[in-house]
Amino acid sequence: MSRADHWDVAAYALGVLDQQDTERFEEHLAGCWACAAELETMVPVVGLLSGIDGDTMTAVEQTATDPALLDRTLAAVRADRRRARMRQVLATAAAVVAFSVLTGVGIGTVTGGEPGGPPVALPTGSAAVESPQPGPTRPDLGGVGGPDEIVGDKSGATDQVTGVRLDVILAAEPFGTQVAFQVSRLPGPRKCRLVLVHADASTEVVSSWSVPAGGYGTGANSVPLRLSTNTATARDQIRRLQVQSVDAAGVATPLVTVTL
């Protein structure tokens, strides 16, 4: 059977046959496995041809008088499909390049440093460089109890037995007294507290903390403990400040005392 006997496959798939030719082809299709197989392969092509202009569609109809035209048309369809795929690949590649350009600044910010060196995270405009955290401050910040040294009475003492050092600053305020203090030469692990002794000999716990195994201001950890707190007690009613170590049973042992 020659190629000309099967010319209606593409035209039938595209729906360009008139009523008479459609009926004739369907009668032929019922007994021709080759046309049935070719028609099945044309199904995905039909959707692709929906974007082809009217001149191409007319050329498909003319394959009745020029069987070679069908071959050229199908070849054009396959070429168009390849071009479409290539456009998709190029579009994807362009999107990747654009994304890389847009994120290049962020990547450079994260890597930073010398070539081959470890990543360096730099702050962004919207993120805080360092959020204040409770606990001891760094020794280079200056000022007992924090970076902003309060203005007040300074006192300090080192216990001759325990070796623990306590430095304090007391500032009179309308609400009572602001207390900033630094503890060093304090070994751990243990739990400690700062106690005020009032003029009437009563006591008040104004701060407590845990000491890690390395301690504070020691050979294992040179950073001293720096904290600040407040009390409703008036400045002139405070006579002594004492750091105490508290065991698991709640028994307190004095480590160092500063007398005002």
Instruction: Read off the pLDDT of residues 138-159 as tens digits, 9 standing for 90 and up.
Output: 334 345 665 456 788 899 999 9
Q: Give me the domain span that covers residue 85.
A: 1-123
Domain presence at residue 128: no
Dist CA 13 CA 40 (whole Å):
9
Nearest to 166 by CA among 139, 191, 186, 152: 186
Q: At which residue do the structure tokens 């959020």 appear?
A: 131
The number of C-alpha atoms within 13 Å of 70 and in the hemisphere containing its C-beta is 20
| Domain count within the chain | 2
Identify the domain boundary among 89, 123, 157.
Answer: 123
The predicted-structure confidence for 95-149, as pLDDT tens digits, reads as follows 555 555 554 544 343 444 444 444 433 343 333 333 333 334 333 434 566 545 6
Domain presence at residue 119: yes
Cis peptide before 134 (omega within 30 of 0): no
Domain presence at residue 148: yes
Does the global pTM surpass 0.85? no
The predicted-structure confidence for 170-183, as pLDDT tens digits, reads as follows 999 999 999 999 99
Domain presence at residue 35: yes
The number of C-alpha atoms within 13 Å of 116 and in the hemisphere containing its C-beta is 0
Dist CA 73 CA 57 (whole Å):
9
Residue 95 shares a structural domain with residue 198: no
